[in-house]
Amino acid sequence: MVSAGQVWIATIGMGLALGCGSATDQPAPAAATVPPLSRDDVLSGFLGKHWPPLPLPLQGPPPPEFTSVEASLDPQTCGACHPQQYADWRTSLHAAAYSPGLSGQLVEGALAHPAEVRNCLSCHTPLGEQQPYAAALRPEPAFDPGLREQGIVCASCHVRAHRRYGPPRRGVPLPEGAVLPHGGFEARTEFQQGSFCAPCHQFFDDAGVAGKPLENTWAEWAASRHAREGRTCQSCHMPDRRHLWRGIHDPDMVRAAVAVELADVRGAGRSAWAELRITNRDVGHRFPTYTTPRVFAALWQADAQGREIEGTRVEAVIARQIDFSTSPWQESFDTRVAPDETLVVPYQVVPASPAVQLVGRVTVDPDHHYRGVFASLLGELESEEARDRIAQAARDVAESAFLLAERTLSIGPAGARGEAPEAPGTPR
């Protein structure tokens, strides 16, 4: 029989064995001795001013010639003249960033403290006008609760002191002396740089856990082939300048960038091995980049009716697992797949009667960590408001896992093996 449950995984490319789901007692790789990435390393010049430490300063009074439409920070008002960006943005996770999972944690307990509220809102609702508390932690007179509901609004990226900033205009230049609403805009090439996204997608001045900050997306990207080839965050997440920001919650986006192959590698009969290979072909950072998703890879044998044969399953987890119960926090394992690397899950094929197929399946659970957080919060929270919000958050993530790929290989009587056609994908 197959040694079910036991699995070794390795990555090809850097020649590193990165530990695995079942061998959590393996020592974590030694922490790198490089100094932590600082804000100034990434956000200098225009970007340093455009992205001061968050939340952003208040816009202040609008220029006297501005109409109320031009002075409005409400995305719907921007949308009256920029309908495409507004329609896209509304469907994005940026628009949903003041989520029940966030807001429900800020009602009671330690995170209800004004300093914590300000910290949590700094990336999720970054405008000064979206903050209930000002820097001195007194109530903010300019606070607009309706604007906070809308998450990362257009103005977070495009408006400073009521002045509009955007990428250089595409297409034919505007006629000389054209008078534009909101006093026109300042064109900045920095909108097309990967560093533009760093203020919220990278922790700075943070030694992290095992030498890596919990949020390290910019640094992962900067070290990749993609950065060298000039492929920015925007080129993958905002193609054609669309404002959709699809990521790990979008099955098509993940399928297009991650290759899954089930290969028959060595020998036949009783010494046969197969490998499930998961290749980060076109993700511009680790797959996945955060500590919150989990990707599950499983192999098992199935009978002629496609039923799993008990005792033949092996599983591997692709994730960065942090143990938050220890002080300091510890990394249990990090099996995420770096750009251009392949993660291999080997399987010793000892056909179990009545096996005819080996099945390899990869599923993506984008909200794995949060699902656990929300479940445990529901047991702790007391106020109705907090409980309602977290219960909504738990419902939102209940069904977010999806099937990335399923592959099969025919096995059965020794010698009668060969690659079978791919099984069509069906959601789990």
For ligand HEC, give the closer residue by CB, 278 or 359.
Answer: 278
For ligand HEC, give the closer residue by CB, 126 or 360.
Answer: 126
Q: Which residue is nearest to ligand HEC (CB)?
A: 284
Residue 184 CB, nearest distance to ligand HEC (Å)? 7
Residue 421 CB, nearest distance to ligand HEC (Å)? 26
Number of residues that make up the chain? 428
For ligand HEC, give the closer residue by CB, 25 or 65.
Answer: 65
Residue 101 CB, nearest distance to ligand HEC (Å)? 3
Rounded CA gap, 262 and 346, in Å?
10
Rounded CA gap, 270 and 351, in Å?
8
Residue 344 CB, nearest distance to ligand HEC (Å)? 18
Omega within 30 of 0 (cis) for the link into 55: yes
Residue 338 CB, nearest distance to ligand HEC (Å)? 11
Rounded CA gap, 350 and 414, in Å?
9
Rounded CA gap, 201 and 213, in Å?
11
For ligand HEC, give the closer residue by CB, 86 or 402.
Answer: 86
Residue 359 CB, nearest distance to ligand HEC (Å)? 23
Amino acid at 128: G
Amino acid at 416: A
Structure tokens at 73: 């920070």
Residue 23 CB, nearest distance to ligand HEC (Å)? 23
Residue reference for tokens 């179990």: 352
Residue 67 CB, nearest distance to ligand HEC (Å)? 8
Those residues with Cβ within 8 angstroms of residue 18's Cβ, 6 or more apart along the chain or in another chain: 9, 10, 11, 29, 333, 334, 335
For ligand HEC, give the closer residue by CB, 28 or 257.
Answer: 257
Question: For residues 259 and 282, is the Cβ–Cβ distance under 8 A?
Answer: no
Taking CA atoms, 205 is separated from 67, 82, 216, in Å, by 42, 37, 11
Burial class of residue 2 in the structure, from the number of CB atoms within 10 Å of its CB (0-12 exposed, 13-18 middle, 19+ buried): buried
For ligand HEC, give the closer residue by CB, 284 or 351.
Answer: 284
Amino acid at 230: G
Dihedral sign for Cα 213, 217, 222, 226, please.
Answer: positive
Residue reference for tokens 């249990």: 332
Residue 369 CB, nearest distance to ligand HEC (Å)? 8
Straight-line distance from the first to the last Cα atom of the chain, in angstroms, rounded to the nearest whole number: 27
Residue 66 CB, nearest distance to ligand HEC (Å)? 10
Cα 48–234–11 angle (5° rounding)? 105
Nearest-CA neighbor of 373 among 396, 357, 354? Answer: 396
